């Protein structure tokens, strides 16, 4: 797990630029650094290393293979590297290290770009082939590890793990991408396209790869999609599905325990993280290693937001030692500048602050690898937003009785009235202009809110969900949309930056592609029915999770009492908003203060809109953005 950098030009590049790029992400790799130069100074690879496998100097990067023909700078982990190495050895390939990095290089030398299909893991890398003067860059299936690129005005292509690495290069000017800023401010959407909130900075999207030659540095990569989600059709019953799911889940967790450093777990008390922690405990118990298991959790001083009861249920039932942290309002604005710098872009709620504090405690206790539950909600229909396409699908197929039963159960389990179901079906089935009319009737926020000046932002009032596939009457289709173009990408962005800011590798068992593709093949009712989400996971965790956790229906997940903070410290938030009005040159208008007062008085329901305004302003200032 590391940080990478690469520079390509038709002219000689000063060596200080690649060094500056790697220095700016020392947090991603505190154990060692390296740079390599090719083509008479026109091509550079840089690297910062966080040693996880083979802690010796053999794991240093950039690394070469095949007598120096291939060079790589690589960030990630290939969990099945042992099996791939054994296969390549049968073909006669030789290895000098025990790293997965060398396996990646050897696999590319033998299979070419088809090697990606064989990898089970997370990665972003750049490989240079000096014999063919070719560059190959690739990102993992779901975008766990980041990869950005930017063309400077100095005729130079830069590739990096984090956007901040471009700020140390000649020709850099931080300019705002107005449309993407609108998507974030109004719709809380980020990382749903190849564009970023910085004009001219792009990301290689999840499941994408790129190829180009040194002598043809065009205005964009020659990109291609190497991976598409495979969603087959499962024809067994729920009993069969549970057994297969459990087997694949245990294998996914087991693979992610391969490490030469200490491993811990993020434990929120929710179903996903608790399932991982208890599964790890089962595996370690079989190996007589349970004494080494550690978790880190975020609690809250406000009872409504505190999950300590469920966390302690897991810890007690399994005899695990857990560390706690309690994020406080009085520390939030002391660290928000640092969090923003590490995130590269604004973030949608203070839950990212809670996650930041969790990884800080993990680092303090030398837990270098942490397992976390990202990706479960999106594939297992864990969010309550999945009820809308569930209802819409039943309505569309004229399954009236089943629809009635589902709405009734949803009311019994979650206290959601029939109006909740009606609004959900309207949002999924009717054209967007009609939906906007209903939003006005129900006093929902309009597409072009008064607190945002679209002209100054140079953006159009377009709902990005129209292009991400989130508007659907299919639970599976919404899962695919959230996994590929909306929710998951934002969560992975924050997970990567919060963990790597503290030099920690975060591993995500639910994003084992074998498990995820199997879940997508299941019928909707195996995932969400009778008011119950994640049915397949709940069934598979019988006898493993405490029942109070397995069947809990509430959902938080490292949440902070942001609503309470807002109402207890209104003056602090008002000062921040006034700063943003001035700082944004009126993009955020004075009407944001009306919005604040409406939330505090109860006239408007609390959401994270106010935080997005504050985070946006912090980002403008921290990165010195030109408007």
Structure token digits, residue 538? 């709940």
Are 307 and 301 contacting, i.e. CB atoms less than 8 angstroms apart? no
Report the DSSP beta bridge partners of residue 512. Answer: none
Is 190 strand, coil or helix? coil
Q: Which position among 2, 266, 494, 592 bears the catalytic label?
A: 2
Q: Rg of the chain over CA atoms, in angstroms? A: 24
What is d(CA 512, CA 249) in angstroms, rounded to the nearest whole number? 8
Are 425 and 389 contacting, i.e. CB atoms less than 8 angstroms apart? no
Report the DSSP beta bridge partners of residue 323. Answer: 296
Is 36 strand, coil or helix? strand
DSSP track, 488-499? HHHHHHHHHHHH
What is d(CA 577, CA 314) in angstroms, rounded to the nearest whole number? 40
Active-site residue flag, 278: no
DSSP track, 3-26? EEEEEEESSPPPHHHHHHHHHTTG
Burial class (CB within 10 angstroms; exposed 0-12, middle 13-18, buried 19+) of 445: middle
Are 119 and 80 contacting, i.e. CB atoms less than 8 angstroms apart? yes
Is 324 strand, coil or helix? strand
Alpha helix stretches (DSSP H) within 197-346: 238-255, 271-286, 308-318, 329-343
Are 261 and 59 contacting, i.e. CB atoms less than 8 angstroms apart? no
What is d(CA 597, CA 601) in angstroms, rounded to the nearest whole number? 6
Strand ranges (DSSP E) for 319-450? Answer: 321-325, 369-371
Q: What DSSP element (H or E) covers 70?
A: strand 70-78
What is d(CA 118, CA 255) in angstroms, rounded to the nearest whole number? 15
* List of residues 6+ apart from 76 with CB closer than 8 A: 1, 121, 122, 123, 124, 125, 140, 144, 145
State how far Cα 409 lies from the chain centre.
Answer: 32
Structure token digits, residue 557? 């997940």
Q: 286: cis peptide before it, omega within 30°?
A: no
DSSP track, 103-152? HHHHHHHHHGGGGGGG--EEEEEEEEETTTTEEEEEE-TT--S--EEEEE
CA distances from 164 to 327, 344, 502, 619 (A): 26, 6, 16, 12
Closest CA to 279 of 307, 246, 308, 245: 246
CA distances from 171 to 151, 198, 199, 614 (A): 9, 14, 13, 29
Are 253 and 287 contacting, i.e. CB atoms less than 8 angstroms apart? no
Closest CA to 375 of 514, 479, 263: 479
Point out the residues that are catalytic: 2
């Amino acid at each position: 797990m590391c940080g990478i950098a690469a520079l390509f030009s038709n002219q000689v590049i000063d060596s200080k630029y690649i060094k500056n790029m790697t220095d700016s992400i020392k947090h991603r790799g505190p154990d060692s650094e390296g740079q390599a130069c090719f083509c008479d100074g026109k091509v550079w690879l840089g690297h910062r290393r966080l040693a996880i496998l083979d802690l010796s100097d053999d794991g240093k990067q950039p690394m070469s293979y095949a007598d120096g023909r291939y060079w790589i700078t690589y960030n990630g982990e290939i969990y099945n590297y042992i099996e791939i190495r054994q296969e390549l050895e049968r073909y006669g390939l030789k290895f000098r290290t025990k790293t997965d990095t060398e396996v990646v290089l050897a696999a590319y030398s033998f299979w070419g770009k088809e090697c990606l299909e064989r990898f089970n893991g997370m990665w972003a890398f750049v490989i240079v082939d000096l014999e063919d003067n070719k560059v190959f860059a690739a990102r993992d299936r779901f975008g766990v590890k980041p990869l950005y690129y930017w063309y400077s005005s100095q005729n130079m292509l830069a590739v990096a793990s984090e956007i901040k690495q471009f700020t140390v290069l000649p020709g850099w000017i931080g300019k705002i991408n107005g449309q993407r800023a609108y998507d974030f401010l109004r719709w809380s959407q980020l990382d749903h396209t190849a564009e970023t909130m910085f004009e001219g900075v792009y990301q290689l999207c999840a499941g994408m790869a790129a190829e180009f030659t040194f002598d043809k540095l065009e205005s964009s990569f020659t990109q291609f999609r190497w991976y598409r989600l495979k969603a087959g059709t499962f024809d067994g019953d729920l009993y069969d599905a549970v057994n297969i799911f459990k087997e694949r889940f245990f294998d996914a967790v087991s693979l992610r325990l391969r490490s030469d450093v200490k491993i811990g777990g993020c434990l929120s008390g929710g179903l996903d993280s608790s399932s991982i922690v208890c599964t790890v405990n089962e595996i370690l118990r079989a190996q007589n290693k349970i004494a080494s298991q550690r978790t880190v959790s975020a609690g809250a001083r406000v009872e409504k937001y505190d999950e300590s009861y469920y966390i302690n249920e897991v810890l007690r039932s399994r005899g695990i030692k857990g560390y706690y942290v309690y994020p406080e309002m009085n520390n939030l604005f002391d660290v928000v500048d640092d969090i923003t710098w590490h995130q590269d872009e604004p973030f949608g709620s203070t839950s990212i602050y809670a996650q930041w504090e969790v990884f800080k405690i993990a680092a303090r206790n030398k837990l270098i690898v942490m397992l976390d539950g990202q990706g479960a909600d999106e594939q297992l229909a864990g969010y309550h937003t999945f009820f809308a396409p569930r209802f819409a699908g039943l309505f569309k197929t004229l399954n009236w009785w089943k629809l009635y039963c589902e709405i009734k159960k949803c009311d019994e389990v979650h206290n959601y009235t029939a109006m909740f179901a009606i609004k959900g079906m309207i949002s999924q089935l009717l054209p967007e202009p009609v939906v906007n009319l209903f939003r006005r009737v129900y006093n929902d926020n309009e597409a072009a809110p008064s607190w945002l000046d679209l002209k100054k932002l140079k953006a159009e009032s377009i709902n990005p969900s129209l292009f991400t596939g989130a508007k659907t009457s299919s639970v599976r289709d919404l899962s695919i949309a959230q996994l590929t173009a909306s929710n998951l990408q934002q969560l992975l962005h924050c997970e990567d930056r919060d963990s790597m800011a503290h030099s920690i590798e975060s591993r995500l068992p639910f994003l084992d592609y074998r498990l995820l593709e199997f879940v997508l093949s299941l019928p909707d009712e195996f995932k969400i029915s009778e008011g119950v989400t994640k049915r397949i996971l709940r069934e598979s965790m019988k006898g493993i999770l405490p029942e109070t956790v397995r069947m809990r229906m509430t959902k938080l997940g490292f949440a902070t009492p942001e609503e309470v903070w807002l109402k207890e410290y209104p003056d602090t938030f008002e000062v921040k908003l006034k700063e943003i009005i001035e700082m944004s040159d009126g993009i955020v208008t004075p009407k944001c203060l009306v919005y604040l007062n409406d939330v505090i008085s109860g006239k408007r329901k609390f959401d994270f809109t106010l935080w997005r305004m504050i985070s946006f302003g912090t980002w403008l200032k921290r990165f010195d953005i030109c408007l």
